[in-house]
């Protein structure tokens, strides 16, 4: 049976580097409305801190850029974003946010710029995918299908259940752009817009003992447990923060340490590298 243990931040700051079998980072929402649609200064500052953490890879939960309906502009912004992150020499995986999907061409533009795993359902290759790393299974969902924003359709649900059903790893992390349970300015414009499908998705998370669903969309940090499963919102990668600091409105990134037995230590840091939250999930 899963036991949720919440410990003092200082414990994880000191202990996590010792017990981790592997470590990865999560960022989201690095976009901006100025320049080339990227908050380059904040994104670079966060990536500098992530590099110091010596992570194995980074997962990005979407809204990398403020997109454009003009295909050439859209592609150039994505290429610039890719060029920035590649300078840090850390492997990365991306998901799409609503600002990546600005036209019917957007999904193909994303595919042309990034090379992601191609094991997703038909029509969603490289946008929905899964992969294994050591003792953990990772799944990226697409909450922003063109003309069907904030929805998890039947094809995606079917693929997801088939994927996690055959999983042999101890720990499962699932990622998407939209929160299932938004907490601030995107209430009603996240997966909660289609609550029946959201609930079906969450029931699947519970059934297959997903460790956490990690997302962005709201430009803040928040964690909560819904029916025994963590939702972590980490949308503080550069987009203008959308809440007061006491409600999680600060630039942020997450460092996740996974032990051999599947236990997980999660540390949330701000742009200066200060610990803002730390907790663990154990089985």
Picking from 131, 124, 31, the residue whose alpha carbon sits closest to that of residue 91 is 131
pLDDT of residue 261: 87
pLDDT of residue 35: 82
What is the per-residue DSSP string for the chain? Answer: --EEE---HHHHHHHHHHH-SEEEEEE---B-SSTTTB-HHHHHHHHHHHHHTT-SEEEE-S--S---SSHHHHHHHHHHHHHHHHTTT--EEE---GGG--STTHHHHHHHH------S-TT-BTTBEEEEETTEEEEE--SEETTEET---HHHHHHHHHHHHT--SSEEEEE-SS-SS--STTTTSSGGGGHHHHHHHHHHHHHTT-SEEEE-SSSSEEEEEETTEEEEEE--SSSPP-S-GGGT-S-EEEEEEE-TTS-EEEEEEETT--EEEEEEEE-
Q: Cα separation of 80 and 85, whole Å?
A: 9
Q: Are strands 229-234 and 212-215 parallel, antiparallel or unpaired?
A: parallel
Residue by residue, pLDDT tens for the chain (283 residues) are 444 444 434 334 444 444 459 999 999 999 999 889 999 999 999 999 999 999 999 999 999 999 999 999 999 999 999 999 999 999 999 999 999 999 999 999 999 999 999 999 999 999 999 999 999 999 999 999 998 999 999 999 999 999 999 999 999 999 999 999 999 999 999 999 999 999 999 999 999 999 999 999 999 999 999 999 999 999 999 999 999 999 999 999 999 999 988 899 999 999 999 999 999 997 6
Beta carbons of 238 and 217 less than 8 angstroms apart: no
pLDDT of residue 9: 40
pTM of whole model > 0.85? Answer: yes
| Domains of the chain listed by start with CATH number | 3-282 (3.60.21.10)
pLDDT of residue 283: 66
């Amino acid at each position: 049976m899963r036991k949720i243990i919440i410990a003092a931040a200082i414990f994880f700051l000191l202990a996590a580097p010792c017990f981790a079998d592997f470590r990865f980072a999560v960022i989201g929402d690095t976009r901006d409305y100025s320049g080339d649609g990227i908050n380059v200064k904040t994104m670079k500052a966060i990536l500098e801190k992530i590099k110091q953490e010596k992570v194995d890879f980074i997962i990005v939960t979407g809204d990398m850029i403020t997109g454009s309906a003009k295909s050439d502009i859209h592609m150039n912004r994505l290429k610039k974003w890719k060029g920035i992150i590649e300078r840090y020499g850390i492997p990365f995986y991306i998901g799409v946010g609503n600002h990546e999907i600005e036209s019917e061409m957007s999904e193909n533009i994303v595919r042309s710029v990034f090379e992601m795993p191609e094991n997703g359902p038909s029509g969603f290759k490289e946008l929905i995918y899964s992969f294994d790393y050591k003792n953990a299974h990772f799944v990226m969902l697409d909450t922003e299908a063109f003309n069907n924003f904030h929805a998890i359709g039947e094809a995606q649900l079917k693929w997801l259940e088939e994927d996690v059903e055959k999983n042999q790893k101890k720990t499962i992390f699932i990622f998407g752009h939209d929160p299932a349970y938004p907490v601030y300015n995107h209430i009603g414009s996240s997966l909660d817009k289609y609550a029946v499908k959201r609930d079906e998705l969450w029931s699947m998370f519970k059934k297959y003992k997903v460790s956490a669903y990690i997302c962005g969309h709201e430009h803040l940090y928040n964690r909560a447990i819904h029916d025994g499963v963590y939702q972590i919102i980490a949308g503080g990668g550069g987009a203008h923060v959308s809440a007061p600091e006491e409600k999680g409105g600060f630039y942020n990134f997450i460092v996740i340490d996974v032990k051999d037995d599947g236990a997980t230590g999660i540390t949330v840091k701000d742009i200066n590298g200060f610990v803002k939250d730390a907790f663990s999930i154990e089985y």
